[in-house]
Chain A
């Protein structure tokens, strides 16, 4: 199924592994440092529950007093596995966007809190940047630096996002990994036999 969704996104239970989604509205970026910062902060200057969380360290340039996003592909999500279940719980995250997928802890949190993980094509930094229409806000830029800061982007037709982990306990990453390992076993054994 293909969906075009506008933020705030509050319910994603209808999304299933394999669905393709395009997002309009606002998304926020957070990588390792921003996760840490947000988990430790008492108050957050924006409402994260209304927006998809994008694992991304963008390349942004200041042009004539405005921010211009040069490239904004996803970063490897696995690094955020150590924070993500708590992060989903604390900020009521409904959609995570990244690359490479996440582990069992996150999968469990997605099920408990009715959230999904969507994959954006790795390395497709220009494609992502072209659908970012405006930088609405940036937080902790001085403190964390450009790639680690929290950026709030206004996006249009942001995608393709493929749902690879849904709120029903399914994970495409787990399925592919199991299938690959099975095939590997067969191929190695066949050669030894």
Chain B
């Protein structure tokens, strides 16, 4: 990677952060508009109208759509045949977050849990969190997910008895969301990770939130489970901003891994209406492209 390549990747990440923070992806926007059409509770409709108005204003004035600009998670899929050096990549990503914090601007959100110190630039120990996967591809994809505190606080881990099976998973998710979904600025998107272990199911749940709304899991049985969960969550009747209504969730995404025979880990990660994301794609000749909308 030449110095020029590095600079153009860094610039693209700053630009992608800006797109993510100020504009909603088309699928999310369409889903919010559809929710507004379909909702029949007048109170919930008022909330959805305010959200849509807010999104329109933030795009028009290039301002972050929510005052909580979040912490940033980066899911990087490195193409094994590409020329990318992951160590360099970590540095570029950190630089880009520091720059984006100043240039957009973003709220400085990283706090030392022991001292309360805030570095002021959205970086710090282990943050931004960068997760690397290696894929059979010549392209490298850097997927960016800014996520606010309100929605992150609605996450949960369940270590269920395997005997409870999928019904147990369903009930665990519903019981949890019935208690907390109203605090995560609904309409929400729900990521569910099943299997693996305590850490892996949480990661799978979070990563599944990158999948566009309306796109089902490639496995039919899992796709059906996603649809059933979406119906069930909406039947709780929490509604936009918890005022009561028939649209609580825009979608449910499920991912899974094989589990230990003695455990059934379930990770639930919730995204708020401000379901922000953007992707930077680097091809084999180091051409850089942003996919945000």
Residues of A within 8 A of B (CB): 18, 20, 57-59, 61, 70-73, 76, 78, 99-101, 119, 121-127, 129-130, 160, 162, 164, 172-173, 175-177, 179-181, 183-184, 187-188, 191-192
Contacts and interface: CB of A to CB of B under 8 A. Distances in A.
A176 B171 contact: no
A121 B54 contact: yes
A114 B170 CA distance: 43
A131 to B, nearest CB: 10
B200 interface: no
Contact of A127 (B53, B105, B167, B244): B53
Nearest to B186: A122
Contacts of A20: 46
Given A162-B46, A183-B236, A188-B171, A70 B53 contact: no
- SS of B interface (majority): helix
Given A122-B185, A123-B66, 19 more contacts: A70-B67, A70-B105, A71-B63, A76-B183, A78-B183, A99-B241, A121-B50, A121-B51, A122-B150, A122-B241, A122-B272, A123-B67, A124-B66, A126-B63, A129-B63, A160-B46, A177-B182, A183-B236, A191-B167
A191 B167 CA distance: 7
B182 A176 contact: yes
Nearest to A164: B243
Q: Taking each of A71, A72, A121, A122, which has the highest tally of chain B beta carbons within 10 Å of its own beta carbon?
A: A122
28 contacts: A18-B43, A57-B67, A59-B67, A70-B64, A71-B64, A73-B66, A100-B182, A101-B242, A122-B150, A122-B272, A123-B54, A123-B68, A123-B185, A124-B51, A126-B57, A126-B64, A127-B50, A127-B54, A176-B237, A176-B243, A179-B237, A180-B178, A180-B236, A184-B174, A184-B236, A187-B235, A187-B236, A192-B167
A130 B57 contact: yes
